[in-house]
Structure 1
Amino acid sequence: MNAILVFEQLLNGAGYGLLLFLIAAGLTLVFGVMDVLNLSHGSLFMVGAYVAAQVHVQSGSFALAVGVAVVVTAAVAALLEVTLMRRLYGRDHLAQVLATFGVILVADDAVKMIWGPSPVMASAPAALAGPVELFAGLPYPSYRLLVLGAGVLVALLLYLLVNHSRVGMLVRAGASNRWMAELMGVRVTRIFSGIFVLGAALAALAGALMGPLVAVQVGMGESILIPALVVIVIGGIGSVRGAFVAAMLVGLVDTIGRAFLPLLLRATLPPALAADLGPLFAEVSMYALMAAVLAFRPAGLFSAKA
């Protein structure tokens, strides 16, 4: 274990954390402002990944693929919000969970019908196929640097939108006191629709960017939804700042754990057993982090309702 390896894994963890933030930011806004537990958020992430992979293959333009994925997913989310989500406003969380879980099943079958059951291998843009020499002895993939830059830029824009704009003021008002916001003349229906579509667009962006790093496959939305839920619980429901801090923590803990725990376990365990237990312990460490945070701050690090 050397300094270059540690720095490389820190960059990988930051990149994963920023992608988690893109997913969790929309999810925490929907839950915090609308009080709707939307399990189908991961399916929107999956749709964005599939659309981006398909458009990239046909057009050869990665930028166009990302743009089309965001627009198509936002349109799907708008249709979903009008036809289903509006019927769930004011309903209990059990009804929301059951309804949006049904959306997951429908989305998975729809993806199988359109793209088939086999994974789709998305590719990074040709211009970013090679590494960049960050400093002597550390070549780092160009595409991962793009992911880092895009994640930081979106986080900054979202921060400005939520904290330094009139739209953000209305969003924060709804998150703090929905009833009072309605009395002040806020058009809650439009705010809810806009927040839901924005969250879907962020999820689609994350899916399009993550596609070249992992296999685009049916069910990928469900696997990413669990870490995203952990992020919003740690950060505080409804808090974009909390989602960013928590996503970075979870990304670093998960990535560093998967990289270094097997090496540490090999000191006392057989190599094969250490290789199997390392990823499991790394996954458990994410939940241990959540438990530790909730033990001291039950509402999360930055509760929007504080």
Structure 2
Amino acid sequence: MSAYLAKRLVTAIVTLALASVVVFAVLEVVPGDPARLMLGMNASAGQVEQLRSQMGLNDPLLLRYLHWAGGILRLDFGRSYTYSVPVIDLVRERVMVSLPLALIALALSTAIALPVGIYSASRHGRMGDALAMSAAQFGVAVPNFWFALLLVYLFAVWLRWVPAGGFPGWSAGAGPALKALVLPAVALALPQAAILARVTRSALVEVLSEDFIRTARAKGLPWRAVLWRHALRNALIPVVTIMGLQFAFLLAGTVIIENVFYLPGLGRLVFQAITQRDLIVVESVVMLLVASVIAVNLIVDLSYALVDPRLRRGR
């Protein structure tokens, strides 16, 4: 067990280091001069050069990377070129929108997908299975931004149950804040629920064909006990894997949804920083999202040991 944990931890650290190099290198080769974009095309060469010196853009590339990476390790992300405030303040403000949105969407996705996948697998080859998987296929095929626009039209424009966009902030109370996150969470959750339901169904159908399931049935165990006590636990590893990947996607990949609903989250912050050529914000937030994805995957890997006893025994 300890060897398994150590291996996963070393892998996560190495992946994080390589990701930092890739993120820094990719953004450095993006065309355009941040100083020129900030000052405008009418700025003189002297003004541009002075701003480049203040921003550290004239330093050697390796020195800039080490300075940036060291700041990331100390949670010092630098100052935004555009907003003139510490990046950590922007992140702290925006993550209070993106993180609850991702958690609500993941909870909705799991609550929908697991019962549907279990129901479909328990009726494998019958009408219920076909109907459930057809609905799941439709959910996979529909783009979440198109589905989000339908939700806005139905529940915000026509029925007027919830706001069409914006976020009042948690200072306005949990009720208004959660009400503003309902539609974005549903728009994110349903396509992910369709994927998770198909994975749950496939994993469970495969386990139900194993010899130990037939043995349990031959001993006279009820079908419900076989399904929930024996089959489901052995089918959880691919399901847990997809859930971890989905949470990472919901946290880091909400750029489109946050722009559709005008939510001041991390995805919208990255989008605005890219359009404003605010490299320090882009680098820092993208690296923070990469670190969150790696951390979630590490937690998923460690959760395997809880599901699969062979890992606890070092096999």
Q: TM-score, normalised by structure 2?
A: 0.32
Higher relative contact order (CA 8 A, sep 6+): 1
Larger Rg: 2
Q: TM-score, normalised by structure 1?
A: 0.33
